[in-house]
Structure 1
Amino acid sequence: MCVIQLHWLLPYHYSIAMPILITVRVVMYWKSKQQYFMLDFCYFGNALCFFYIWAFPMNTIMSCIIFAVSTGPMAWATCLFRNSLVFHSVDKMTSIYIHVLPAYLMYSIRWYPESTSLHWYTSFVSDFDLSLWEMFVWLFGLGFLCFVLHSVIYTVVVYVLLRPSPDYLNSYRYLSAREDSCVGKLINIFGPKLRFAMYIGWNWIYCLLSLLVVLGCYQFFIFHTVLIAVVTFVITWNGAGYYMDVFSIKGFGFDD
């Protein structure tokens, strides 16, 4: 019962932590010429999530869209980018928050709306009685539409208007450069000429597959709980692997 009643902390924790972490990341990434990462979909999704909890917490359609993008492509990005739960690293913990915290928040709103709304300025939507068609349109359809809309805007802004020089890093350059990885091989499968088109195409396929999982999460508590547990396990496992690598090289005292 104590855990359930503590759900009301999540919206406040998200509202305070996310702006601080994003601001710190802007400064860090700007200095290292990685600011184009800040235009990725996960930042767009977090902006939508922040807008939702403060402006439209009672809007069912908005709730479904945020549920879809946070539980789908954003949460599974932890696997794509091998996010690690490394407590002493601000950068790694920020990546965890960006990809996972919205999913935790929407899990709480989906299954515990009353306790999550307990001390919020208004109630989060609690009636999720949707038909199969409504679920498909609002979760799958609108979720994918948001993803496609972002990718179109991203392409125009980054590759038509801004055109960053090669010394600036972004997700496309980061993933396509890892030619030995599974993702890198998929992006480079048809060579340099079609590399960006394949990057966009595989992103859309990735989004569609993750949204199929979202439909199950939306309907079934146990299914959703398992997904949250899997994502949490992945970031914890990656973090443990990181610490073991550090300890094996530097020792437990982190000596130089």
Structure 2
Amino acid sequence: MPSPSSPPNGRTPFSASFERFKRDEMAEWAGAFTLLDTVETYFDSHVDLLQRKLQKHSDRLKMRAEETFKIRDLSGDLLAENFEREFKGFKLKIQSRMTSLASSWQSAKVVRTREKLSFFFGVMSMLFSALIFGLAPQWVHISYTVQGLYLLPLRAYTYKKRAWHYFLFDLCYYVTILNFVYIWFLPSSPALFVACYCLSHGSLASAVITWRNSLVFHDQDKVTSLFVHIYAPFTFTVIRHFYPSAEIRFPALRELQHLNPLNALLLSGGIYLIWQLLYWKFVLVDRRAKIESGQRTTSFSFLLNDKRGVIGRSLSSVPAAYREAAFMFGQLLYGVLTEVPAVYLLYNSPRWSGVFLILILAVSVWNGGGFYIEVFGRKFERELEALRKELADTIARTSSGRSSPLSTPGLSQGSEDEISSSENSPPIMNSKLLPEDPPAFNLQDVPPPKKDQ
């Protein structure tokens, strides 16, 4: 099965690795905010504006305080001293935050470059794939191979470094390897072509919907996941329907003018069972100790801990001794059902094959739009609101809570009016210390060290 997009939460033996898995995923979202270099100029200018406003505000408060303190007795001098100390602490806190933010921004240069490269690669890959499909469809399988040779070793290295490499034993990578074997070593094997075609249009393509794969160009992991799940059905659709003189390059097609649905399902099911038995033996049995100790995470442990999902809730209701068997049987049933449209409809219809690919891609684009707008927008809104409240509360406490001279007539009427209007205004938009149309990046999470899907 394809690798999950985020690790689970729960109190099972797998929860320890899942929590680490989840933290890494959340850390990767933060790296996305470094994509837009135009934001850097916008952000720097507003940070400078904020600092100058704070300095101007502090000078005005100190000048008024000094004028008032001249007519105060000894107790007034003590109040002034307390006020001065409080204000210096506030100023140091702001300066420290600005320094930390600037340091984080500078240290994000490497991350920002990597995200740019991922964005460039993702966009150009989609454009190039569309061009070669229209101009030279006989190059699509070559593009599939070249991109796979770059993305899959990078995925293996990244997952091994993060101790997620048990996800590499999932079905999607197994089918991808079978696809390359057919394309370059056994193009005359009808059985292997049928298995690759059915599995690519079944379990792999449907995983875009099931696992909510997203077209998020700046995220290398999401680009890789989408490539694995959508480029395989795209390649075999081209080979079947749009490749000129396909029987010459792929002789297996001469014997496969039409599919026998029952034979196709049995054949692809048999190939699936071979993978399932290997997965059960080498992962669920031989590595059981590491998985149960929480050192490793698998698709099974992910789904079991995902209490919000239908599969996770269903598995939790099954007795522990039968959960693995129920999981494997459910995978087999799911794989067969998702292959039915390919066997009965897509193999004989170029038009419906195109509709199918557009539908799968549309789902990934919709998920990607939700990622950018919902995740980024809501996270930035929460952080900006927290900053606004922190600044308003600190200024209010400084001006009225600790220093009674500020309550004298004419001393801080303007600042108090600003605080009052800020507290009564809607979040984000009415704060005079912050821009009305803020840039889309996170003020506190830029940039933690850098998660799938």
TM-score (norm 1): 0.89
**What are the residue-to-residue correspondences of 1:80-119 with 2, within 5 Å?**
80-114=210-244
Aligned letter for 1:29?
Y
Kindly state the Cα deviation for residue 252 of structure 1 after the two structures are TM-superposed: 4.2
Whose Rg is larger? 2
1:231 aligns with 2:360: yes
**Aligned equivalents of 1:254, 1:116: Cα separation in 2:** 48
Verify the 8 A CA contact 1:175 1:183 in the aligned structure 2. Answer: yes
1:195 aligns with 2:323: yes
Give % identity: 23
Deviations 1:17-38 (A, max 9, x none): 1122111111111121110000
Tell me the equivalent position of 1:243: 372
Of structures 1 and 2, the one scoring higher in RCO (CA 8 A, sep 6+) is 2
Taking only aligned residues, the RMSD between alpha carbons, in angstroms, comes to 2.1
**Aligned equivalents of 1:175, 1:204: Cα separation in 2:** 16
- Runs of at least 5 residues in structure 1 that lack an aligned partner in the other structure: none
Larger CA deviation: 66-75 vs 208-217? 208-217
Deviations 1:52-89 (A, max 9, x none): 11012233322211101101111111122211110000
Which of 181, 192, 196 is 1:62 aligned to? 192
Q: 1:29 to 1:176 in 2, by over 3 A?
A: same
Verify the 8 A CA contact 2:132 2:139 in the aligned structure 1. Answer: no
**Aligned equivalents of 2:215, 2:341: Cα separation in 1:** 24
Tell me the equivalent position of 2:347: 218
Verify the 8 A CA contact 2:234 2:357 in the aligned structure 1. Answer: yes
Verify the 8 A CA contact 2:240 2:246 in the aligned structure 1. Answer: no
Q: 1:88 to 1:45 in 2, by over 3 A?
A: same
Tell me the equivalent position of 1:147: 272
Secondary structure at 2:317 match in 1: coil
Deviations 1:183-202 (A, max 9, x none): 21222232433222221111
Aligned letter for 1:11?
H
**Aligned equivalents of 1:191, 1:233: Cα separation in 2:** 38
**Aligned equivalents of 1:109, 1:186: Cα separation in 2:** 39
Verify the 8 A CA contact 2:187 2:249 in the aligned structure 1. Answer: yes
TM-score (norm 2): 0.52
Aligned letter for 2:358?
A
Secondary structure at 1:168 match in 2: coil
1:156 aligns with 2:281: yes
**Aligned equivalents of 2:137, 2:439: Cα separation in 1:** 36
Verify the 8 A CA contact 1:4 1:115 in the aligned structure 2. Answer: no
Aligned letter for 1:89?
D
Tell me the equivalent position of 2:85: none
Q: 1:195 to 1:247 in 2, by over 3 A?
A: same
**Aligned equivalents of 2:238, 2:153: Cα separation in 1:** 26
Aligned letter for 1:113?
Y
Kindly state the Cα deviation for residue 226 of structure 1 after the two structures are TM-superposed: 2.2
Deviations 1:75-114 (A, max 9, x none): 1111222111100000011101111111100010010121
Which of 239, 248, 262 is 1:136 aligned to? 262
Aligned letter for 1:153?
L
Secondary structure at 2:214 match in 1: coil
Q: 1:182 to 1:3 in 2, by over 3 A?
A: same
Deviations 1:224-250 (A, max 9, x none): 222212211111111111001213323
